[in-house]
Chains A and B, each alone.
Chain A
Amino acid sequence: MSDRPGEGSVSTVPRESELRRAARFMVEARWPVFAVICLLVAAVAAAFGPWLAPFDPSRQNLVLRLAAPLSTGPDGSVFLLGSDALGRDVFSRLLYGARVSLLVGIAAIAVGGSIGVVAGLLSGYFGGWVDDLIMRLADIQLAFPFILLAIMFLVVLGSGVWNLILILGVGQWVTYARIVRADTLSLREKEFVEAAQAMGDSTTSIIFRTILPNILAPLTVIASFNVASVILSEAALSFLGLGVPPSVPTWGSMLAESRDTLIANKWWLAVFPGVAIMLTVLSFNILGDWLRDFLDPRLRERT
């Protein structure tokens, strides 16, 4: 894994574009390439699932229930990764499952990141009671095991993609708020901010146009790790039956269903969705690691 901070970040070619430098740094580290490939596959599955899937993911086939991987149906169609207890094609369901995981993972970060960034900017720029209020709220939330909070709200609100995104998103804001606050605090004293103030820019403009662009980079690192942990939480909640409605195939709910046939050694139902989750989460984690090393090796202390 890319664990030598700073290595390769010394540019040998002057005027190499930022993008090319990123690409070279990535290839040198090797693992990130693997991560990008995995994520591309997942993204393609999520985007083109309906065209790629050999079967309708919810079509039941009572003749071919619990078919082993590579079984052939009477009409010659192949169940690449086998079929489940209702005769549904595991491969097709896996493709559709990528949608929920990626959508929830990325949308939740967008929600949590936006809340956190705004809260952190306000907290850091204004200080005083605004800061106190926001940071105490953050403390309270951190003092509460997040999964419990999610369980409680989802039981009452009911399952659904948007509820899931909202709750998982709200669960993430604190990390962003704290980092943005710290960065804003130090930037507030910098000359270019003072210059903007002296030129009479509005407070909104200073916060969002002058400060914000300068603190975005480290957030991409946090976001990458966060997508990974949100996907894990989404899978766990789906596994508990608290995710999206049961009619939508997700990796977590596929694993929940696999438990009934575990004793009968229908391993493919349990193995493939888990591998899908693991590879996706692993890829986001590797990417986060790489981004951190690429942007600033010193960041590793803070995440």
Chain B
Amino acid sequence: MGSYILRRLLQSVVVIVGVTLVSFLALQAGGDPTYLFVSERASLEEIETTRRALGFDRPLHVQYLTFVGDLTRGDFGQSLSYRQPAMDIVLEALPATIELTLFSMVIALLLAIPLGILAAIHRGTAWDGSITTFSMLGQSIPNFWMGIMMILVFGLYLRWFPISGHVPFIAPMMNGEFGVALSNLPRTLLHLILPGIAVGTYSLARNTRLIRSSLLEVLEQDYIRTARSKGLPEMRVLIHHALRNAWLPVVTIIGLEFGFLLGGVVVVETVFSYPGIGRLLFAAINQRDIPLVQAGVILLAGIFVLLNLVVDLVYVRLDPRVKLAEGRA
């Protein structure tokens, strides 16, 4: 157990180093990165000064070590458009993004579990047919288009939900203003519904299929037949014997899911003018504000890596077989 955790931690460190290396190399991929930081009409001297100031005249490995050194001190560089530390701006937008990601995750999991079970236990019936068809469709709809359609139908035509904006919940919580947070909550949720559905649909569809096939596989096992032949009620077989084993594969994807949803959030936030990291990145892309893009990407990737670490560690507790399999590999 201990050695598995240690190895997994080490792996996460390697991955994080990989993330920094990739973000560093991305900057170099287009040739001299100095040109990304100066205006198109900059004079030669200006370019030279900027190159010196940002250290792009030094050897690559020195640049990388400086870059990593700065990162460990929390220095992600200055945003070119805001003239402020890039990380501060990104961190300010983080709570809104977390709210949207969590909300869509809840949609993706809470609906997927009953739908997947329903399809599996009524395999081959109309229930199963319509659920699998819908999940096939859900996996084929671009999330941002889903967002646009939701705006068109539920926002502009039916006028049921607001089509843009965000009411903060986590931010006041973190400032200790619990009263404000609580009174905001209904409006927070109202603003999250359309973007949340847009982000969550793909995952909902995928999870439904996953839960369905996972449960179907478990239901064919010998121990299920044993449980049934013992005369246990079907409900008990399902809950105590089948679901316990069927939900393990679901746990493993929760971490990956989060990263997936983050990717969706980045695009969908733009559709709903939702003030999170996604919209920030979108603006930064258009203004070619490289440090801001870097800070946003590294922060999201870092969260993703940590979350996957936690999920894996939790998983070992849930399923001791993993540890054994790892040991043999």
With contact pairs A145-B260, A240-B267 given, residues A136 and B29 touching in the complex (Cβ less than 8 Å): no
A151 to B294, CA, bound (A): 10
Most buried by B among A148, A262, A286: A148
* B213 adjacent to A300 (CB under 8 Å): yes
A281 to B12, CA, bound (A): 34
B271's nearest neighbour on chain A, judged by CB, is A259
Most buried by A among B148, B217, B304, B305: B148
B151's nearest neighbour on chain A, judged by CB, is A262
With contact pairs A155-B290, A157-B30 given, residues A265 and B156 touching in the complex (Cβ less than 8 Å): yes
* Residue B33 is within 8 A (CB to CB) of chain A in the complex: yes
* B145 adjacent to A153 (CB under 8 Å): no
User: Which residues of A211-252 have CB atoms within 8 Å of chain B's CB atoms?
Assistant: 228, 232, 235-236, 239-242, 252
* B140 adjacent to A278 (CB under 8 Å): yes
* B26 adjacent to A143 (CB under 8 Å): no
* Residue B165 is within 8 A (CB to CB) of chain A in the complex: no
* Residue A158 is within 8 A (CB to CB) of chain B in the complex: yes
* Residue A10 is within 8 A (CB to CB) of chain B in the complex: no
* Residue A129 is within 8 A (CB to CB) of chain B in the complex: no
* Residue B286 is within 8 A (CB to CB) of chain A in the complex: yes
Dominant SS among interface residues on chain A: helix
With contact pairs A145-B304, A228-B140 given, residues A278 and B266 touching in the complex (Cβ less than 8 Å): no
A149 to B15, CA, bound (A): 14
Chain B nearest CB: distance from A290 CB in Å?
11
Number of B residues whose C-beta is below 8 Å from A? 58
Chain A nearest CB: distance from B83 CB in Å?
19
* B304 adjacent to A151 (CB under 8 Å): no
User: Which residues of A250-279 have CB atoms within 8 Å of chain B's CB atoms?
Assistant: 252, 255, 258-259, 262-263, 265, 267, 270-271, 273-274, 277-278
A252 to B271, CA, bound (A): 12
User: Which residues of B156-212 have CB atoms within 8 Å of chain A's CB atoms?
Assistant: 156
Chain B nearest CB: distance from A39 CB in Å?
13
Chain B nearest CB: distance from A303 CB in Å?
10
For B18, the chain A residues whose CB sits under 8 A away are 140, 143-144
| B105-113, B128-136, B224-232 - the one binding chain A | B128-136
For B260, the chain A residues whose CB sits under 8 A away are 145
* B145 adjacent to A277 (CB under 8 Å): yes
A239 to B293, CA, bound (A): 17
For A4, the chain B residues whose CB sits under 8 A away are 124
* A155 adjacent to B285 (CB under 8 Å): yes
* B139 adjacent to A285 (CB under 8 Å): yes
* A232 adjacent to B142 (CB under 8 Å): yes
* Residue B34 is within 8 A (CB to CB) of chain A in the complex: no
* A1 adjacent to B132 (CB under 8 Å): yes
* Residue B282 is within 8 A (CB to CB) of chain A in the complex: yes
Of the candidates B27, B36, B288, B308, the one whose C-beta lies within 8 Å of that of A143 is B308
With contact pairs A144-B301, A148-B263, A255-B148 given, residues A153 and B29 touching in the complex (Cβ less than 8 Å): yes
Chain A nearest CB: distance from B263 CB in Å?
4
* Residue A156 is within 8 A (CB to CB) of chain B in the complex: yes
For A3, the chain B residues whose CB sits under 8 A away are 124, 128, 132
* B293 adjacent to A145 (CB under 8 Å): no
A82 to B301, CA, bound (A): 42
* B149 adjacent to A270 (CB under 8 Å): yes
User: Which residues of B8-26 have CB atoms within 8 Å of chain A's CB atoms?
Assistant: 11-12, 14-15, 18-19, 22-23, 26
* Residue A139 is within 8 A (CB to CB) of chain B in the complex: yes
A158 to B31, CA, bound (A): 12
* B266 adjacent to A151 (CB under 8 Å): yes
User: Which residues of B94-141 have CB atoms within 8 Å of chain A's CB atoms?
Assistant: 124, 128-129, 132-133, 136-137, 139-141
A–B pairs, 13, beta carbons within 8 Å: A1-B133, A140-B22, A145-B262, A145-B263, A155-B288, A156-B26, A232-B142, A240-B282, A241-B286, A259-B148, A265-B152, A282-B136, A285-B140
Chain A residues with CB under 8 Å of chain B are: 1, 3-4, 136, 139-140, 142-149, 151-153, 155-158, 228, 232, 235-236, 239-242, 252, 255, 258-259, 262-263, 265, 267, 270-271, 273-274, 277-278, 281-282, 285-286, 289, 300-301
Given contacts A157-B30, A278-B141, 11 further A-B contacts (CB under 8 A): A148-B263, A149-B22, A149-B26, A153-B26, A155-B288, A239-B267, A240-B267, A241-B282, A258-B148, A262-B152, A277-B145
